[in-house]
A and B are shown apart, each in its own frame.
Chain A
Amino acid sequence: EAGVTQFPSHSVIEKGQTVTLRCDPISGHDNLYWYRRVMGKEIKFLLHFVKESKQDESGMPNNRFLAERTGGTYSTLKVQPAELEDSGVYFCASSQDTRPNTEAFFGQGTRLTVV
């Protein structure tokens, strides 16, 4: 069974440009999460989808970030316009159920570098 996959694995863009990250969760997983790790800091929660609905977007840094999950399958995270402080590794995770049943499985992350 395929795990959580993320595209691209690396992205280098200039400040002011737009980047779109994609996450394909494990098939059948209704819950999809985005997290981010800025260099040297903790991995921080960004938002949580249940199917196509945003359940919690309290971790989204600002309105330059837009996450979508049309149809409840894959998700995209768009950063527009990108700023230097957006650099980091963006992780996606999925789970079949929220607690208490299962844990979340993570993708390999997308390393975003804004120059």
Chain B
Amino acid sequence: ELKVEQNPLFLSMQEGKNYTIYCNYSTTSDRLYWYRQDPGKSLESLFVLLSNGAVKQEGRLMASLDTKARLSTLHITAAVHDLSATYFCAVDRRSGGSNYKLTFGKGTLLTVNP
């Protein structure tokens, strides 16, 4: 059974600081997603990482994927209050035929304090 573990689950940080969220998964998969969720809102796709060594950046967020280590990281640079949200990583897995389904981590609740 595919397991996805995120850490930390809770992260309180000051504005201007850097931090990294980690996402480990247990079996082979070559497609990893990072989502952001604001309270009461939908999951917003941040990054889709398709291959080993993939690195993507958007603003103050940068995501990377190491498929050999089964590890993805989401790095936050110089955090600002607007980044406060819950961040999920998810790995997709074939569920039969050509169908795939997502397996999520528990999410990281990020709070950025002034």
Contacts and interface: CB of A to CB of B under 8 A. Distances in A.
A18 interface: no
A48 B101 contact: yes
Contact of A108 (B4, B40, B101, B105): B40
Interface string B13-32: 00000000000000000010
A88 interface: no
Interface SS majority for chain B? strand
B45 A99 contact: no
A9 B98 contact: no
A48 B95 contact: yes
Interface in B82-114: 88, 90, 92, 95-107
Contacts of B40: 9, 108-109
A55 B99 CA distance: 8
A99 B92 contact: yes
A98 B98 contact: yes
Contacts of B48: 103
A99 B98 contact: yes
Interface string A84-115: 00000001010000110001111111000000
8 contacts: A43-B88, A43-B102, A45-B101, A56-B101, A98-B99, A104-B102, A108-B40, A109-B40
Q: Closest 8 interchain pairs by CB?
A: A106-B43, A43-B104, A108-B42, A45-B101, A106-B42, A56-B95, A42-B104, A99-B100
Interface of A: 3-4, 9, 33, 35, 40-45, 48, 50, 55-56, 58-59, 91, 93, 98-99, 103-109
